[in-house]
A and B are shown apart, each in its own frame.
Chain A
């Protein structure tokens, strides 16, 4: 008993300063950031054919499709976008530039959600990496409870469904039932390329549509998988707390 206390004290405080300070490099490896073109007019056409998931068009990078495989890096794109890339609409995922992606003025915090959120994780067909990144939010480095965010064991006690994975035909019904079980006001956060667009499995026979064809999605968090910091950004954008923390940043 005494030794566990000694152990805890000797390690000190590990918790990230995020969101009061910007995410550090240790929290964010290169692939934790969205790839953005150095000069869109020339880089995008040059890199388009390298993309294995068709995320790059002549005019934009669809971060909802991007799996951060790095094939476009070196062809005019670099992982230099902001970690804070979560958006409130699907189309905004095509407009990510180097700075943090602000919630547009037309999308206020979701009505009725307070400062505290309760989350229920829904896996609709993931590889496990997103599940583990979401769960990593509970470790001492991210400690999501300090921000008033908690995991719950039942959708009946939750405000937010955190959905990971590419929806399989088998998981459509469990997903709908979990969504229906949430008390209003309710919200859905799509974590990772899979629920947003199908990611690397888009177009495989036997898979259902993207998540927003099944339930309404309120926040999109791009990445494959998104880092815990990126997921946290998405959660804070739900109730508008990202603004207050970012404005308080020095």
Chain B
């Protein structure tokens, strides 16, 4: 039996060094909380739901899960005063090219309070997959957030396989790893391009944007689809890489990696770029732990936690994976963490392509089920820890719930923007790598 990645406790006792509220969420039946214990490097699964003492963030996620009508994604203290008004930004704007709104309390230049409002683009994916076969449900899951499709499908399938107790060929795990690392590189490069755009680094933007396009084309060349739709479907057209394909891909990735090194060095030498994001939208370590930040946001605030290392599955069990982290907690730290992770992903891909398992390399045992017919899947998506809770019966999905990295990080963006100025908005927003699509579901 594969290491489950968590330890079961009767109740997740609150402790200072635990992100006690981090992964608490409420599926329709049988609430539980999944808590990261940073001192022991282990997650704790506590059936019966989270401690009611922690009820603010809990309430936030409870509303966020599946609610369709526009709703706040982060709590905000009341702000009143002379000339204070609410400035609504969105749901349609080209600055944030996604449907979502930000209610900004302000008297002019300064942001007194900012509330991200989601729910505009809820496609009711959770409802749409109920009753579907696993393979049909996966078509919807990969379209839940197109730029994070590999992570979502990988987490979904992991949950299904755990629920069904089904082993999966090692090679298929490696294909999932390959797809996820490529998509991580794309998303991180895209975030850097967006921050460069906000900082008016036009040459840097064009060059980084071109690199992102080259990653999409690489994904298209390997998997036949620029966004990896269909790449990881169970029993579907999962790609087999023969030695010639692997050599060609390794050469191509080598070029992209060199190109990224050149660009990142130029960005670090660009004072206007670094100055603009340094100190912007800070997230302190304590706040990150208390609110349960995930991914580059958590790591940029000084907590070295990555699901690929803490809950290792193939192929990460066999590879050297650096764990970049920073201590600044600001937009610069988040962007720098992402840049280091791009390097780490290129390194992982290089190792993968050298050590690709043979087609008959055997099976990986499934994770342990939470309950009969119910499994959890967790992967480190580009923006952080992604949790799927799937219930299956007779090959069909009976229920699905998920906690996306965007959902976890919204409150920290809102808190970091307090007392900032309007012009900080885009640097701050882009550095988190949010997607309303995965928040709304």
Contacts and interface: CB of A to CB of B under 8 A. Distances in A.
Given A7-B207, A69-B230, A165-B99, A126 B121 contact: yes
B119 A140 contact: no
B69 interface: yes
A135 B97 contact: yes
B59 interface: no
A140 B147 CA distance: 20
B229 A68 contact: yes
B94 A152 contact: yes
Interface in A206-233: 206-207, 224-225, 227
Interface in B117-154: 119-125, 127-128, 136, 139-140, 143-147, 149
A168 B68 contact: yes
A3 interface: yes
Contacts of B93: 153
A207 B435 contact: no
A145 B149 CA distance: 30
A121 B128 CA distance: 26
Given A29-B221, A121-B94, A170-B69, A70 B99 contact: no
Given A205-B124, A205-B127, A200 B217 contact: no
B263 interface: yes
A131 interface: yes
Contacts of A225: 146, 226-227
B225 A171 contact: no
A22 interface: no
B267 to A, nearest CB: 10
Given A123-B99, A132-B147, A225-B227, A200 B139 contact: yes
A126 B437 contact: yes
A7 B203 contact: yes
B209 interface: yes
Contacts of A168: 68, 120-123
B220 interface: yes
Given A69-B139, A121-B97, A170-B119, A178 B213 contact: no
B309 to A, nearest CB: 27
Contacts of A55: none
B70 interface: yes
Contacts of A224: 143, 229
Question: How many of chain A's residues touch chain B, expressed as a range?
Answer: 35 or more
B94 to A, nearest CB: 5
Contacts of B92: 120, 122-123, 155, 174, 178
Interface string A17-57: 00000000011111110000000000000000000100000
A47 to B, nearest CB: 15
A70 B93 CA distance: 34
Interface string B231-263: 000000100000000000000000000000011
A227 B229 CA distance: 13
A78 B262 CA distance: 40
Contact of A32 (B203, B213, B226): B226
A111 interface: no
Interface in B12-69: 68-69
Contacts of B145: 127-128
Contacts of A140: 206-207, 209-210, 213
A165 B440 CA distance: 13
B98 A123 contact: yes
B369 interface: no
Contacts of B10: none
A139 interface: yes
Contacts of B328: none
Given A4-B266, A200-B140, A70 B207 contact: no
A126 B436 CA distance: 9
Contacts of B206: 8, 139-140
Nearest to B203: A4
10 contacts: A4-B266, A31-B226, A52-B139, A69-B229, A70-B224, A123-B99, A127-B146, A139-B210, A178-B92, A205-B127
Q: When A and B form their complex, which 9 residue pairs have the shortest distance between CB atoms, in order from nearest? A: A129-B146, A29-B220, A127-B146, A139-B209, A125-B121, A123-B99, A4-B203, A128-B437, A31-B225
Given A4-B204, A8-B203, A225-B226, 14 more contacts: A29-B224, A121-B97, A126-B437, A129-B229, A132-B190, A134-B97, A136-B212, A139-B212, A140-B209, A169-B68, A174-B92, A200-B139, A201-B128, A224-B143
Interface of A: 3-5, 7-8, 11, 14, 26-32, 52, 67-70, 120-136, 138-141, 151-153, 155, 165-166, 168-171, 174, 178, 199-201, 204-207, 224-225, 227
